[in-house]
Copies of this chain bind each other. A is one copy, B any other.
Amino acid sequence: MVRVGLTTERLTQAGAELADEVGFDQVTVSALARRFDVKVASLYSHVRNSHDLKTRIALLALEELADRVAAAVAGRAGKDALAAFADAYRDYARVHPGRYDAARLRLDPETAAASAAVRHSQMTRAILRGYDLTEPDQTHAVRMLGSVFHGYVSLEMAGAFSHTAVPSQESWAWTLDSLDTLLRTWTTT
């Protein structure tokens, strides 16, 4: 009976890898146990239940994503910052589709409030500093940007843009141009 050295962190990490390989909804306590070559029940000392595991993966993904966005945006402003933000977001989803889906998991309010989701909205607001919008326009813009980024990435992941000759990359660039133009227009209004 060799001890493998399970910890909540290792399980969460492995769960995130599993999610990227087989999809977040295929992440199961059983699959994770197999991956560690350990009996299923053993995981229950480290993770409360299946939902707890998924929540931890979601929180990990939110942190990672926030870190990447923060790094991408650092030292940039205006459209540069907007594009860096958006690309960081989209790239993360491409490289880590399972984690990206995990980040979309509905968290209960307290958990969400204590998560990196807070940093996400702060960073979005930071982007908007380059386009001086005042409240409530700033909030509207935060919501719109979040919608476009999430919507685009999620439709693209679902394959919705792969049935036309027009490359998705071009539509992405066009969209970012449009958003920049739009925000600059609002600024002068």
Contact = CB atoms under 8 A, between A and B. Distances in A.
Interface residue range, chain A: 35 or more
B181 A136 contact: no
Report the copy number of this chain in the oligomer.
2
Interface string A150-189: 1110110011110110101011001100100110011000
Interface in A131-147: 135-137, 139-140, 143-144, 146-147
B146 A147 contact: no
Interface string A107-150: 00100110000000000000000000001110110011011111
21 contacts: A109-B159, A113-B163, A135-B166, A136-B166, A136-B170, A137-B174, A139-B164, A140-B166, A143-B155, A143-B161, A146-B155, A147-B151, A147-B175, A148-B148, A150-B151, A150-B154, A150-B155, A151-B151, A151-B154, A178-B182, A185-B185
